Chain A
Amino acid sequence: MLDLTFDAPKPRVISGATGDWEMVIGMEVHAQVASKAKLFSGASTEFGAEPNSNVSFVDAAMPGMLPVINEFCVEQAVRTGLGLKAKINLKSAFDRKNYFYPDLPQGYQISQLYEPIVGEGEVIVWMGEGVARRVRIERIHIEQDAGKSIHDMDPHMSFVDLNRTGVALMEIVSRPDIRGPEEAAAYVTKLRQILRYLGTCDGNMQNGNLRADVNVSVCRPGDYERYRESGDFSHLGTRCEIKNMNSMRFIQQAIEFEARRQIAILEDGGEVVQETRLFDPDRGETRSMRSKEEAHDYRYFPDPDLLPLEIEQEWVDAIRDSLPELPDEKKARFIAEFGLSDYDASVLTADVESAAYFEDVARGRDGKLAANWVINELFGRLKKDGHDITRSPVSPGQLGGIIDLIRKGDISGKIAKELFEIVYTEGGDPARIVEERGMKQVTDAGAIEAAVDEVIAANPAQVEKARDNPKLAGWFVGQVMKATGGKANPKAVNEIVRKKLDL
Chain B
Amino acid sequence: MGDLNRMTIAEARDALRRGEVSAVELTEACLAAIEAAGALNAVVHGTPELALEQARAADARLRAGGAPDMCGIPLGIKDLFCTRGVPSQAASFILNGFRPEYESTVTSRLFEAGAVMLGKLNMDEFAMGSSNETSTYGSAVNPWRRVDDETPLTPGGSSGGSAAAVAADLCLAATGTDTGGSIRQPAAFSGIVGLKPTYGRCSRWGIIAFASSLDQAGPMTKSVRDAAIMLAAMAGHDPKDSTSADIPVPDFEAALNGDIRGRKIGIPREYRMEGMPAEIESLWAEGRRMLRDAGAEVVDISLPHTKYALPAYYVIAPAEASSNLARYDGVRYGHRAKLGAGDGITEMYEKTRAEGFGDEVQRRVMIGTYVLSAGFYDAYYNRARKVRTLIAKDFEDAFAQGVEAILTPTTPSAAFGLGEMADADPVRMYLNDVFTVTVNLAGLPAVSVPAGLDSQGLPLGLQLIGRPWEEGALLNAAHVIETAAGFASRPSRWW
Contacts and interface: CB of A to CB of B under 8 A. Distances in A.
A158 B102 CA distance: 28
B242 A106 contact: no
A98 B326 contact: yes
Interface stretch (B115-123, B136-144, B371-379, B453-461): B371-379
Contact of B381 (A61, A107, A301): A301
Contact of A301 (B100, B323, B349): B323
A61 B332 CA distance: 9
A419 B177 CA distance: 78
Contacts of B319: 301
B327 interface: yes
Interface string A290-306: 00000001011100111
A64 B206 contact: yes
Contact of B82 (A63, A101, A102): A63
B320 interface: yes
B176 to A, nearest CB: 16
Contacts of B322: 98, 299
Given A100-B349, A107-B326, A305 B331 contact: no
A105 B331 contact: yes
Contacts of A57: 101-102
Contacts of A64: 81-82, 100, 104, 204-209
Interface in B3-48: none
B242 A100 contact: no
Nearest to A102: B331
B321 to A, nearest CB: 11
Nearest to A305: B212
B262 interface: no
Contacts of A62: 82, 100, 102, 332-333
Q: Is the interface of B mostly helix, strand, loop or mixed?
A: loop
A485 B329 CA distance: 79
Interface stretch (A66-74, A126-134, A429-437): A66-74
Interface string A100-126: 111001111000000000000000000
A290 B213 CA distance: 34
A62 B239 CA distance: 18
A63 B331 contact: no
Interface string B312-353: 000000011011011101011100000000000100010000
Nearest to B320: A304
A303 to B, nearest CB: 8
Nearest to B244: A66
Nearest to B327: A61
Looking at B81, B90, B326, B345, which has the most chain A CB atoms within 10 Å of its CB?
B326
A406 interface: no
A69 B242 contact: yes
B98 interface: yes
Contacts of B90: 63
A66 B323 contact: no
Contacts of B240: 66, 68
Interface in A16-58: 57
Given A63-B208, A64-B207, A299-B369, A305 B243 contact: yes
Contacts of A69: 242
A60 interface: yes
Interface in A391-427: none
Given A66-B240, A306-B242, A307-B243, A96 B323 contact: yes
B241 interface: yes
A160 interface: yes
Contacts of B291: none
B236 to A, nearest CB: 15
Nearest to A104: B326
A150 to B, nearest CB: 13
B310 interface: no
Contacts of A101: 345
Contacts of A98: 322-323, 326, 372
Given A63-B327, A107-B329, A297 B373 contact: yes
B331 A108 contact: no
A105 B331 CA distance: 8
A135 B329 CA distance: 42
Interface residues of B, number: 43
Contacts of B372: 98, 299-301
A299 B380 CA distance: 12
Interface string B192-230: 000000000000111111011100000000000000000
Nearest to B374: A297
B324 to A, nearest CB: 9
Contacts of A96: 323
A360 B457 CA distance: 91
Contacts of A108: 323, 326
Contacts of B349: 100
A257 B243 CA distance: 49
A94 to B, nearest CB: 10
Looking at A62, A64, A102, A301, which has the most chain B CB atoms within 10 Å of its CB?
A64
A127 to B, nearest CB: 39
Interface in A304-341: 304-307
Given A57-B102, A60-B332, A301-B377, A106 B207 contact: no
A212 to B, nearest CB: 26
B381 to A, nearest CB: 6
B88 interface: yes
B232 to A, nearest CB: 22
Contact of A160 (B242, B325, B331): B331
B480 interface: no
Contact of B345 (A65, A102, A105, A304): A102
B95 interface: yes
A62 B320 CA distance: 17
Nearest to A63: B208
Given A62-B102, A63-B100, A107-B323, A100 B209 contact: no
Contacts of A102: 329, 331, 345
A359 to B, nearest CB: 43
Nearest to A162: B332
A100 B326 contact: yes
Contacts of B204: 64, 66
B333 to A, nearest CB: 7
Nearest to A160: B331
A63 B323 contact: no
B327 A106 contact: yes
Nearest to B205: A66
Nearest to A108: B323
Contacts of B326: 98, 100, 106-108
B439 to A, nearest CB: 17
Interface string B91-110: 00001001011101000000
A164 B286 CA distance: 61
A128 to B, nearest CB: 44
A83 B377 CA distance: 36
Given A96-B323, A301-B381, A304-B212, A67 B329 contact: no
Nearest to A309: B242
A62 B209 CA distance: 11
Contacts of B325: 107
Contact of B327 (A107, A160, A305, A307): A107
Nearest to B206: A64
Contacts of B373: 297, 299
Nearest to B369: A299
A304 B331 CA distance: 24
A405 to B, nearest CB: 60
13 contacts: A61-B332, A66-B204, A66-B205, A68-B242, A96-B323, A98-B322, A100-B329, A102-B331, A297-B373, A301-B319, A301-B372, A304-B213, A307-B243
Interface of A: 57, 60-69, 96, 98, 100-102, 105-108, 158, 160, 297, 299-301, 304-307
Given A63-B327, A66-B240, A102-B331, 8 more contacts: A61-B327, A64-B100, A64-B205, A105-B332, A108-B323, A299-B322, A299-B323, A301-B372
**Across the A-B interface, the 6 shortest Cβ-Cβ residue pairs:** A107-B326, A299-B372, A304-B213, A304-B212, A61-B327, A64-B206
